[in-house]
Structure 1
Amino acid sequence: MAPRVLVSDKLSETAVQIFRDRGIEVDFEPSLGKDKDKLLEVIGKYDGLAIRSATKVTDKVLEAATNLKVVGRAGIGVDNVDIPAASKKGVIVMNTPFGNSITTAEHAIAMMFAVARQLPEASASTHAGKWEKSRFMGTEVTAKTLGVIGAGNIGGIVCERAVGLKMKVIAFDPFLSEERAAKLGVTKVELDELLQRADFITMHVPLTDKTRNILSRENIAKTKKGVRIINCARGGLVDEEALAEALKSGHVAGAAFDVFESEPATENPLFNLPNVVVTPHLGASTTEAQENVALQVAEQMSDYLLTGAVQNALNMPSVTAEEAAVMGPWIKLAEHLGAFVGQMTDEPVKSINVLYDGVAAGMNLAALDAAALAGFMKATNPEVNMVSAPVVAKERGIQLSKTTQEKSGAFDGYIKLTVETDSRTRTIAGTVFSDGKPRFIQIKGINIDAEVGEHMLYTTNKDVPGIIGLLGSKLGECGVNIANFTLGRTKAGEDAIALLYVDDAIGRDVVSKLNELGKFQQIRPLKFDVN
């Protein structure tokens, strides 16, 4: 019997036809997604559900979807899908993470031109019957310096377009390699240098703890007088109040924003200021982008339903059902190892090597590689998944290699991750115990035995008496409860490490107080997805 798919949101007829051409029965009901009761009534008949943003795939919908195998979201955002519930039900959730890249990059370039030439204000003035030619004196972009914060997929396209406009392009991105920068035709710089040199600044990074308010009040003050700032990435990257003040003072000459800290934005400090261009989150809103993601999701769902091939899945690796039962804990281990090193690394990575020992060497290494990369990349880009991580890593010039070997130690198998930067090499190894739980067994050559927890703290120090008590008592003073405390050292009096599993996230204030002790070379709070 042919698979059956329900399209419950507005997808193009061309996308619907892809299902039909590949022998899949499809019901095109573009308004059904808004009728929760009707959706619950009919969803049990379908193997696949193709959606945009209107359909809400809740736990109730998934419970009623007794035959559902795959949900395909035409677009990147999946806030309308209960992914944990889908995973529990064995339903694959796919999206199309790269379909909007060109459109979003083009919008950023358009916004740059709009603020450079004051186009919206000039248009409104002319529509009003005025002829204020002298009022709207613009600036050329040719030969100006564009500072790009984040040179990944979308940021890289912006760099290429700006180079074509004969701009001088500088980029801040800790994971941008020199080779990738040269290929893009940009100069890699630190953030402070970008702030000081750029005539225009555009941001293309996800919103994380590290990027939130990357243009803070302090950083806005460091910018060149007369700078123009563009944000088509994420709300929350800029201190909007501080920017509004800088615009009013004249330090910042203009701003163009497509995204805001609070959306939908019906009021904002930037609204109604002169030479501020604002749009209602239109970055992905072009006919071509909407068509592209619709076609992609139709192809991906068809591939899975007909051949079992998995692309752009958010909640499962590209492995067979037989492999998944055995590999699940090892995939989680690989992700934890990558996440550890990713959170420890603040500089460009030249290469990553994954060593598979014993039983691990006989598994689906492509899936384990992808899990390790995803864990590593999520430290700076939470939207990365096992499918997109290898693509993002390749774009950033990160070389991934793997090594396999027969069982060589006390464990039936283990995975060891080695990450090389210009200044250092980091290693971490782990295994899966018989209870199915991943464990860290070695960090930078020092043997340990550490359970992986959601919140952890890693410290390094010289092996001297009193460190354990000092660390424990100071954390106690700060109200931090320790669930597990693991220690290791090279030899007496030399390098020592501690890895603590704690109940709650370690705040900056706690790190500051530990630093004040003057005993630790490194203090790093860590977070792991243990679900």
Structure 2
Amino acid sequence: MKVLVTELMWDDGMKELKRSGCSVDYDMELGRKRKELLALAPAYDALIVRNETKVDAELLDVAKNAKVIGRLGVGLDNIDLGAASSRNIPVITAKHANATSVAEYVMASMLDAYRPLHHADADVRRGNWNRKFFTGNELNGKTLGLVGMGEIAHRVARRANAFGMETIGYDPFVTPFDHILAETGVRSVNTLDELLVASDFVSVHVPLTKETRHMINKKNFPHMKPHAYVINAARGGIIHEGDLIEAVQSGEIAGAYLDVLEAEPIPKDSPLTQIASIRLTPHIAGATNAAQSRTAMLIAEEVMKVLNGGQSLCAVV
């Protein structure tokens, strides 16, 4: 069996594929080389991608030997599920493999917003001792609003509870007996605006779809507290970036933590880079060493199940 890996994959997974008898070709930049990818694809039994490789009908048409698509992550906006389904090609995701890392990123963002220790460190190294300026705030007693209440939001809520935060959530697809409500103590609200009004931090945990694109925009920001922060470690495009810039500059909200953007990598002339209270990271929320290893191993093992004629519990189509 031949496997083509088009983006970054931890060695653990590739070693597992080879141990299982696969021939593996790896080019972590191939997802950006469309013509080369289309030329190579027909020779492979499996494709393993991340979020940059566009797996559409054109690619699947030429990948005539493909029996499975492995996705090193959980987002699916770069994969045409309909096209894969119509060709009977299962798509495997790394179900929950990076959930803990993303949850910890959200906690790190909130702690950084209230206790920016790197700024205090830099100031001390300049010879200052500004204890009053760096007093900061506590997360204890603050309200965290979760937009979407899936597995990652569930893990965020458990950690926020340990800090003494109140957690509320908006998700029309969650029932009263889902774990995040029944066992984690998150209070469900009926509308997005109700969540925004009450929250000191808003953390986004929904996929990018037609319904969620720009769901947080200039109509929503006036409902938020002026000291509130919004955190997006889900998908770029859920928050309208132009409207966010205006909201921060006008003082409608305090700032944002963005790990995902509408254009990745970020353009050098992006106005987002000019606003200090909008913190930017390069799509790394779920990319800790531990999460990368788990993701690579899970995808390798599940892809092999399909190649060997079995079924994967991590298949979405």
Tell me the secondary structure at the aligned position of residue 271 of structure 1.
helix
The residue that corresponds to 1:173 in the other structure is 171
2:92 to 87, 91, 94: 94
- Call closer, same or farther: CA 1:306–1:148 in 2, change over 3 Å: same
**Cα deviations across residues 78-114 of structure 1 (Å, max 9, x unaligned)?**
5666666655655433332432222222111111111
Report the residue type matching 2:139 in the other structure. V
Report the residue type matching 2:25 in the other structure. E
**Cα deviations across residues 189-226 of structure 1 (Å, max 9, x unaligned)?**
23343333222222222234443444333332222342
The residue that corresponds to 2:186 in the other structure is 186
The residue that corresponds to 1:271 in the other structure is 273
Distance 1:9 1:273 in 2: 31
**Cα deviations across residues 210-266 of structure 1 (Å, max 9, x unaligned)?**
434443333322223422222222333334444434434444233222223443323
Tell me the secondary structure at the aligned position of residue 177 of structure 2.
helix
2:23 to 27, 30, 47: 27
The residue that corresponds to 1:211 in the other structure is 212
2:282 to 270, 280, 283: 280
Distance 1:165 1:311 in 2: 34
| Aligned pairs (5 A) from 1:96-495 | 96-126=94-124, 131-180=129-178, 181-190=181-190, 191-266=192-267, 267-315=269-317
Query: 1:167: how far off?
Result: 0.8
Aligned-residue RMSD, C-alpha: 3.4
Distance 2:52 2:244 in 1: 34
Report the residue type matching 1:30 in the other structure. Y
Query: Quick check: 2:18–2:24 contact (8 Å CA) kept in 1?
Result: no
Q: Structure 1: 5+ residue runs without aligned partners?
A: 316-531
- Call closer, same or farther: CA 1:124–1:45 in 2, change over 3 Å: same
- Call closer, same or farther: CA 1:251–1:182 in 2, change over 3 Å: same
Distance 2:168 2:136 in 1: 22
- Call closer, same or farther: CA 1:284–1:211 in 2, change over 3 Å: same
TM-score by length of 1: 0.51
Tell me the secondary structure at the aligned position of residue 22 of structure 2.
strand
Query: Quick check: 2:60–2:84 contact (8 Å CA) kept in 1?
Result: yes
Report the residue type matching 2:153 in the other structure. G
Identity of aligned residues (%): 36
Report the residue type matching 1:141 in the other structure. L
Distance 2:44 2:126 in 1: 55
The number of residues matched between the two structures is 311
Distance 1:269 1:41 in 2: 37
Distance 1:44 1:58 in 2: 14
Structure with greater contact order relative to length (CA < 8 Å, sep ≥ 6): 2
Query: Quick check: 1:114–1:277 contact (8 Å CA) kept in 2?
Result: no
Query: 1:158: how far off?
Result: 1.1
Query: Quick check: 2:42–2:64 contact (8 Å CA) kept in 1?
Result: yes
Distance 2:77 2:242 in 1: 28
Distance 2:227 2:250 in 1: 11
Query: Quick check: 1:115–1:277 contact (8 Å CA) kept in 2?
Result: no
- Call closer, same or farther: CA 1:123–1:256 in 2, change over 3 Å: farther
Tell me the secondary structure at the aligned position of residue 184 of structure 1.
coil
- Call closer, same or farther: CA 1:195–1:61 in 2, change over 3 Å: closer
Query: Quick check: 1:258–1:282 contact (8 Å CA) kept in 2?
Result: yes
Query: 1:307: how far off?
Result: 3.6
- Call closer, same or farther: CA 1:15–1:233 in 2, change over 3 Å: closer
Query: 1:142: how far off?
Result: 1.0
- Call closer, same or farther: CA 1:110–1:26 in 2, change over 3 Å: same
Report the residue type matching 1:256 in the other structure. Y
Distance 2:240 2:47 in 1: 39
Distance 1:253 1:117 in 2: 14
Distance 1:7 1:150 in 2: 31
The residue that corresponds to 1:413 in the other structure is none
Tell me the secondary structure at the aligned position of residue 220 of structure 2.
helix
Report the residue type matching 1:265 in the other structure. I
**Cα deviations across residues 53-80 of structure 1 (Å, max 9, x unaligned)?**
5766676765665543223232234566
Distance 1:237 1:40 in 2: 30
- Call closer, same or farther: CA 1:75–1:189 in 2, change over 3 Å: closer
Query: Quick check: 2:8–2:50 contact (8 Å CA) kept in 1?
Result: yes
Tell me the secondary structure at the aligned position of residue 72 of structure 1.
strand
The residue that corresponds to 1:523 in the other structure is none
Query: Quick check: 1:256–1:278 contact (8 Å CA) kept in 2?
Result: yes
Tell me the secondary structure at the aligned position of residue 254 of structure 2.
strand
Query: Quick check: 2:77–2:208 contact (8 Å CA) kept in 1?
Result: no
**Cα deviations across residues 459-506 of structure 1 (Å, max 9, x unaligned)?**
xxxxxxxxxxxxxxxxxxxxxxxxxxxxxxxxxxxxxxxxxxxxxxxx
Q: Structure 2: 5+ residue runs without aligned partners?
A: none
The residue that corresponds to 1:75 in the other structure is 73
